[in-house]
A and B are shown apart, each in its own frame.
Chain A
Amino acid sequence: NAGVMQNPRHLVRRRGQEARLRCSPMKGHSHVYWYRQLPEEGLKFMVYLQKENIIDESGMPKERFSAEFPKEGPSILRIQQVVRGDSAAYFCASSEASGSRNYGYTFGSGTRLTVV
């Protein structure tokens, strides 16, 4: 039973390029969450999605960042025109449901984005 799968594990982009990060949730999980971890810091919430719906994107920068979770396929976090400040580890988590006492989150191994 595979866990949350993220790819790529490492991604290097030049300033101005686009970065696409992928997340496949655990089997049976329909809720996906993206978090960003800057160096030496904790994880910060970015966006919460269910299939074909963005539920909350209050943690996403207003420009250049977007996320989707299509009916088929993985969730995608897309960063356009990357800048050096986007360099971070991006983690994806999934759960069976949200806001419930009975569910915990399972995290993927993260994608480490380096902008040069």
Chain B
Amino acid sequence: GIQVEQSPPDLILQEGANSTLRCNFSDSVNNLQWFHQNPWGQLINLFYIPSGTKQNGRLSATTVATERYSLLYISSSQTTDSGVYFCAVLQGTGGFKTIFGAGTRLFVKA
């Protein structure tokens, strides 16, 4: 099955810093989503981005489907950005399983 790898596994930032999280996937995908799991365990949908670039406030994401990777950019990080960021992909033609990466655990220090 499709493999989803995220890097780095852990990240510590000083408040105000910028960061880039990466997601590599091993096969063609129908869609790709980025989620933020906050310290209370809630999964928040950040982006639905099978290709191209999207921006939402301090966050933006880019997916290059032909090269099988996606990037999540966090600018001017805040303590509330702490949590785990998951990349999840829907497998190619006819697929319906969303496969999650292991996540990047982010801690933003005040």
**Pair A42/B103 contact, Cβ less than 8 Å:** yes
Q: Which of A16-24, A70-78, A97-105 contacts B (4 or more CB under 8 A)?
A: A97-105
Interface string of A29-58 (1 = CB under 8 A from B): 001010100000111110010000001100
- Compute how far the CA of A109 lies from the CA of B90 in the bound complex, rounded to whole angstroms: 21
Counting chain A residues whose Cβ lies within 8 A of the other chain, the interface size class is: 20 to 34
| B103 to A, closest residue via Cβ | A42
A107 contacts partner chain B, Cβ-Cβ < 8 Å? yes
Count of A-B contacts with CB under 8 A?
58
**Pair A42/B96 contact, Cβ less than 8 Å:** no
Query: Which residues of B approach A to under 8 Å, CB–CB?
Result: 30-31, 33, 35, 41-43, 45, 48, 50, 86, 88, 90, 93-103
**Pair A93/B97 contact, Cβ less than 8 Å:** no
- Compute how far the CA of A101 lies from the CA of B42 in the bound complex, rounded to whole angstroms: 25
With A43-B86, A104-B48, A107-B45 as known contacts, state yes or no: A99 contacts B30, CB within 8 Å: yes
Q: List 18 A-B contacts (CB under 8 A).
A: A35-B98, A35-B100, A42-B86, A42-B103, A45-B98, A45-B99, A55-B96, A99-B96, A101-B31, A101-B50, A104-B31, A104-B48, A105-B98, A107-B35, A107-B43, A109-B41, A109-B42, A110-B42
- Provide the main secondary structure of the chain A interface: strand
Closest 7 CB pairs of A and B: A104-B48, A98-B96, A42-B100, A107-B43, A43-B100, A42-B102, A45-B97
Q: Which residues of the partner chain A approach B101 to less than 8 Å between Cβ atoms?
A: 42
**Pair A104/B100 contact, Cβ less than 8 Å:** no
